[in-house]
Amino acid sequence: MKLPIYMDSHATTPCDPRVVEAMLPTFTQHFGNAASRNHSYGWEAEALVEKGREQIAALVNCSPKEIVFTSGATESDNLAIKGIAHMFADKGRHIITSVIEHKAVLDSCKRLEKEGFRVTWLPVGKDGLVKTSDVENAIEDDTILVTIMLANNEIGTLNPVGEIGHLCKAKGIFFHCDAVQGLAYEPVDVQEMGIDLLSISAHKMYGPKGIGALYVRRRNPRVRLDPIIDGGGHERGMRSGTLNVPGIVGLGKAAEIVLAERESDAARLRALRDHLRQRLTTELTDVTVNGSLEHRLPNNLNVSFAYVEGESMLMGIKDVAVSSGSACTSASLEPSYVLKALGVHDELAHSSIRFGLHRFTTREEVDYVADLMVRTVRRLREMSPLKEMADEGIDLKKVEWSKH
């Protein structure tokens, strides 16, 4: 077993070796510019790009013509949201999103707010799910866009995207879905789910970094976007810039593998994740899973270990790469906004750890992590004044703390 053990797959996933192998010839042999029309280097590159487009289209059930390549999901989210808002500002100036979206969505919406658009920020329940009825109630006469993520990047909860898509279809409102975290594990069909725009990232599905895609519907209805990058008019004018052929080949291959292996991957990861959860919750007391277990990615586990602080846990499990919702581990010194949105007390947000299992996680690794986690939490609880007070029967919520 190789240390440190990687369990931070919501941050990024390792490249599948088959993806790397597919990409290699594009660096030295097939290195042409896909926009070069006058020689075989260009034609070869273009053929590789078109193959990649087909592979991604097959994964989400759309036409290859509806795929726009970008530098990653942050760009895809920006292009979808700002592109719709700027193209259809005459039609309406209201957008609906949720408070637990990725920052690329939240900050794009915030910028539009500054430009005079109105944004409704939907709350989520304790289960971390957006309610379709909340979306419906938020719709106004001039709503032009609803943007809701498929799976949350911290707690892995799965939103009722199909329901929301159908609602938007019925109301004639564009629906954008950031599907980055879910695509490798959950089936996505843009036709069946009524999705007009879908953000895709390669490096969250065992592909390379620096490449992503945006699905943009071409009929029923045809979606037009105001571009955010101008230049040579690549990608039907929606995203100028020389195409990243190695990245596209990698993304395409990653999509092909996901389509073939998603089901078995998901089942295996679900069993491993449940094993990890079982061990942590039976061997330790006061452990809570954040967000719905039922509507959740099979590879995600986000847990709070009461009375111990996240960063001190990470120090204790330094052979394991995971993330914490604790403020101490973030640049902003604020605990996770996602956990706060769930109504998780700040104190438990500070005590949270996010485990992200991936295609190459083994049972041996899961057991190693569980052993280490249990030992570390026990040790830190021995030195926790909160644990001591709780054991003495003191209600921690009634203590007058000196807030600082």
Partner 1 sequence: MVYSDKILDHYNNPRNVGSLPKNDPNVGTGIVGAPECGDVMKLQVMVNEETGVIEDAKFKTFGCGSAIASSSLATEWLKGRTLEEAMRIKNTDIVNELSLPPIKIHCSVLAEDAIKAAINDYQKKREEIVHGNGKGAGKPVAAGPDLASKSS
* Residues marked as catalytic: 328
Q: Rounded to an integer, what distance in angstroms lies between the CA atom of residue 224 and that of residue 87?
A: 7
Q: Rounded to an integer, what distance in angstroms lies between the CA atom of residue 182 and that of residue 155?
A: 12
DSSP strand pairing (118-122 vs 212-216)? unpaired
Question: Mind giving me the DSSP string for 80-145?
Answer: HHHHHHHHSTTT--EEEEETTS-HHHHHHHHHHHHTT-EEEEE---TT----HHHHHHH--TTEEE
Q: In angstroms, what is the minimal distance from the CB of 306 to partner 1?
A: 10
By the 8 A CB rule, do 68 and 82 touch? no
Q: Rounded to an integer, what distance in angstroms lies between the CA atom of residue 358 and that of residue 300?
A: 9
Q: In angstroms, what is the minimal distance from the CB of 396 to partner 1?
A: 6
Please give the structure tokens belonging to residue 290.
């954040």
Binding window for partner 1 (CB under 8 A); candidates: 81-89, 182-190, 291-299, 343-351: 343-351
List 259, 311, 367, 372, residue binding partner 1 (CB under 8 A): 311
Q: In angstroms, what is the minimal distance from the CB of 348 to partner 1?
A: 9
Q: Rounded to an integer, what distance in angstroms lies between the CA atom of residue 370 and that of residue 64?
A: 43
Residues with Cβ < 8 Å from 236, sequence gap 6 or more? 68
Q: Rounded to an integer, what distance in angstroms lies between the CA atom of residue 318 and that of residue 81?
A: 39
333 near partner 1 (CB under 8 A): yes
327 near partner 1 (CB under 8 A): yes
List 28, 38, 264, 402, residue binding partner 1 (CB under 8 A): 402
250 near partner 1 (CB under 8 A): no
312 near partner 1 (CB under 8 A): yes
Alpha-carbon distances, residue 16 vs 58, 127, 133, 239, 334 (angstroms): 19, 32, 40, 27, 34
Beta carbon nearer to partner 1, 265 or 309: 309
Beta carbon nearer to partner 1, 53 or 387: 387
List 10, 94, 350, 359, residue binding partner 1 (CB under 8 A): 350
Consecutive H or E run containing 146 = strand 143-147
326 near partner 1 (CB under 8 A): yes
245 near partner 1 (CB under 8 A): no
Residue 393, sorted as left (phi over 0), alpha (psi -120 to 50) or beta, turns out to be: left
Residue 273: exposure state from Cβ atoms within 10 A (0-12, 13-18, ≥19): buried
Beta carbon nearer to partner 1, 209 or 379: 379
Beta carbon nearer to partner 1, 41 or 337: 337
How many residues belong to the site for partner 1 (CB under 8 A)?
A: 31
List 46, 178, 196, 309, residue binding partner 1 (CB under 8 A): 309
317 near partner 1 (CB under 8 A): no
Q: How many helices, marked H, and strands, marked E, lie in the chain?
A: 13, 13
DSSP strand pairing (5-6 vs 320-321)? parallel
Q: Rounded to an integer, what distance in angstroms lies between the CA atom of residue 145 and that of residue 148?
A: 10
Binding window for partner 1 (CB under 8 A); candidates: 68-76, 153-161, 288-296, 304-312: 304-312
List 242, 315, 343, 378, residue binding partner 1 (CB under 8 A): 315
List 174, 215, 305, 307, residue binding partner 1 (CB under 8 A): 307
List 19, 130, 155, 308, residue binding partner 1 (CB under 8 A): 308
Of 361-400, binders to partner 1 (CB under 8 A) are 382-386, 388-389, 394, 396, 399-400
403 near partner 1 (CB under 8 A): yes
List 51, 346, 367, 374, residue binding partner 1 (CB under 8 A): 346
Alpha-carbon distances, residue 44 vs 33, 38, 212 (angstroms): 9, 11, 21
Please give the structure tokens belonging to residue 95.
């957008």
116 near partner 1 (CB under 8 A): no
Beta carbon nearer to partner 1, 145 or 308: 308
List 165, 227, 335, 356, residue binding partner 1 (CB under 8 A): 335
Q: In angstroms, what is the minimal distance from the CB of 404 to partner 1?
A: 4
Q: Strand, helix or coil at 355?
A: strand
- Per-residue interface string for the shown chain with partner 1, residues 137-156, x marking contact by CB under 8 A: --------------------
Binding footprint of partner 1 on the chain (CB under 8 A):
307-309, 311-312, 315, 326-329, 333, 335, 345-347, 350, 382-386, 388-389, 394, 396, 399-404
